[in-house]
Amino acid sequence: MATLLQDAAMTPADVLLVTRQFAQRWGGAEHSIAEVLAELTAARPGLRCTVTDAGFDPPDRLQPLPLVALARHRKRLLAAAAGAHGSRLVMAQSLVAPTLINALPERVPVAYFLRDVAYWDQWPNNESGLRRVAKTAYRLALAPFVGLFRRENRRALRRADLVVANSSFMAERIRAVCDRDALVVFPRTPVAETPLAPGDLVGMAGDGADKGGAIVRALARNFPDLRFRVHSRKPRLDDVPANVIAAPWEHAPDRLYSGLRLMLMPSQVAEAYGRVALEAQGHGVPVLASSVGGLPENVPGSLWRVPDYRSTEAWIRAFGPAWQAAAVARGGVHAFAVNRRREADRQHRDLIGRLAALIDHGRVRTEDA
C-alpha cells in the first residue's frame, strides 16, 4: 500500500478510495477494502491508487460530533470530489462517502460499500438512566444533521454503479431504503487450521449498552460459578460481578478466543454482519447471539440464537443449554466458518471481476445503475 496518499484532491489516480482512516486500517471495514484493493491491483498491475477523506478525521483523533463536522467540512469534500475527475474508479465507504459520491463528475464510476446501518437507517438508544437522557438530548440536537445525511445517502445509493453489502440483511435494508439491489460480499474472517483447545471461560467483545453490557452482567450474576472475560477498548461496565474479568482489546484472534468455551454476542443493535461471530467459530468457539441484523446469518441453528434478545430472562434461559452444548459443538461451528470463508472467497472473486470491468469500461448506463 505504499502508493496510497493521505490526500488525493490534487493527485488524480486510477482508483480513488474514499474511506475513513483507510491508511491506518482501523476496523474490519478498512481491512476488508484493503484486501479487495490488493487483489484488484494484482489483477491490474501498475494500477495507481490513492486515498482521501478530505481531512475529515486527522490520524491522531476522531472528529467530535461527526455529523456536524461533516456539514462543516462540506466544501472540502466537494473540492476532493472535483479532484477525482481523472479517476477510473472510486471505491467509497464511511460517513464522508455520500457527500463526495454525489459531487463526483458523472463519468466517474463508483463502487459504494455499506458496512453498517448507523445514522442512515437505525440509531437506537439502548442506554439507561442519565446516559439515556443524555443520548436522547444528543439525538434531538443532531436530528437535522441525521436527516441531511440520510437524504444524501439515498442519493449516493442511486448514483453508485455498484453497491456492495456485507450481509443479506444489509442488502435487504438497502433495497427497502432506495429500491436498489446490492452485491452481497461477506468479509473474509480468519479461520484457524484446527479448533482451539476448549477452555472454561465465557467471552465477550465490547461492553457498551449497544453490545449488551447489561446482559452479560445479568448472566454473570445468575451463573456465579462460571467466569466471564470481557474485552473492550474503553471499559464501561459498572457494578461488575466478581466473576467478570475485564481484559484489554485484543487484535490477535487466537489470543482473543483462547481459553473460551462459549462466546456471547448479546447485541442490542442490528449488527450489519457480526464479524466476531465468524471469527470465534473459525477458532472453534460456539457463539450465543442476538437474533437481529446480520447475526442470524452467521450463527447456525436456533440453539445459538436468542430471538427475544432484549429480554434478560430469555438470555438466562438460552444460556444453560448453549453452555452445555458448547463442549461438543466446536468441530461443527469450525466447519461452518470454513464453509463461510469459502463462500466469501467466491464472492470476492466476483467482486474483483465487477470492479475490473468498471475500470476497463467505465460507468454502466444510468438506467442500469
Whether the Cβ atoms of residue 141 and residue 152 lie closer than 8 Å to each other: no
What pLDDT is stored for residue 252 in this prediction?
87
Whether the Cβ atoms of residue 295 and residue 308 lie closer than 8 Å to each other: no
- The residue ranges of DSSP E strands in the chain, in sequence order, are 15-19, 49-52, 89-93, 110-114, 162-165, 183-184, 201-205, 227-232, 244-248, 260-265, 287-290, 305-306
152 and 244 together in one domain: no
* Within a domain: 6: no
326 and 244 together in one domain: yes
* Within a domain: 361: no
57 and 106 together in one domain: yes
Of residues 68, 92, 94, the one with CA closest to residue 81: 92
We report the CATH number of the domain holding residue 26 as 3.40.50
DSSP per-residue codes, 193-235: SSPPPP-SEEEEE--STTTTHHHHHHHHHH-TTSEEEEEESS-
Whether the Cβ atoms of residue 246 and residue 205 lie closer than 8 Å to each other: no
| 55-80 residue pLDDT tens | 676 555 566 788 888 888 888 888 88
What pLDDT is stored for residue 4 in this prediction?
39
What pLDDT is stored for residue 6 in this prediction?
40
Number of domains in the chain: 2
H helices of 11-73, where? 27-43, 66-72
Integer-rounded Cα radius of gyration of the chain: 21
What pLDDT is stored for residue 30 in this prediction?
66
Whether the Cβ atoms of residue 341 and residue 189 lie closer than 8 Å to each other: yes
Pairing of strands 305-306, 287-290: parallel
27 and 100 together in one domain: yes
Domain span at 161: 15-185
106 and 243 together in one domain: no
Of residues 105, 102, 94, the one with CA closest to residue 157: 102
C-alpha cell at 285: 468457539
* Within a domain: 252: yes
Of residues 49, 47, 98, 93, the one with CA closest to residue 71: 98
What are the backbone angles phi and psi of residue 19, rounded to the nearest 5°? -165, 140
What are the C-alpha distances in Å from 124 to residues 117, 164, 267, 276, 344? 11, 24, 12, 21, 30
* Within a domain: 65: yes
We report the CATH number of the domain holding residue 320 as 3.40.50.2000
Per the listing, cell 433495497 goes with 175
Contacts with 32 (C-beta within 8 Å, 6 or more apart), sequence order: 113, 115, 166, 187, 188
3-state DSSP call for residue 264?
Answer: strand
239 and 174 together in one domain: no
Whether the Cβ atoms of residue 37 and residue 15 lie closer than 8 Å to each other: yes
Q: What is the pTM of this model?
A: 0.88
d(CA 328, CA 198) in angstroms, rounded, equals: 10
What pLDDT is stored for residue 238 in this prediction?
63
d(CA 10, CA 22) in angstroms, rounded, equals: 18
174 and 266 together in one domain: no
248 and 292 together in one domain: yes
99 and 48 together in one domain: yes
Dmax over CA atoms of the chain, in Å, equals 63
Q: How far apart are the first and last CA of the chain?
A: 30
d(CA 24, CA 39) in angstroms, rounded, equals: 19
* Within a domain: 299: yes
Of residues 322, 306, 270, 292, the one with CA closest to residue 115: 270
Residues in the chain, pLDDT under 70: 1-12, 20-30, 54-55, 57-63, 235-238, 365-369
* Within a domain: 330: yes
d(CA 127, CA 240) in angstroms, rounded, equals: 17
Among 185, 215, 244, where does a domain finish? Answer: 185
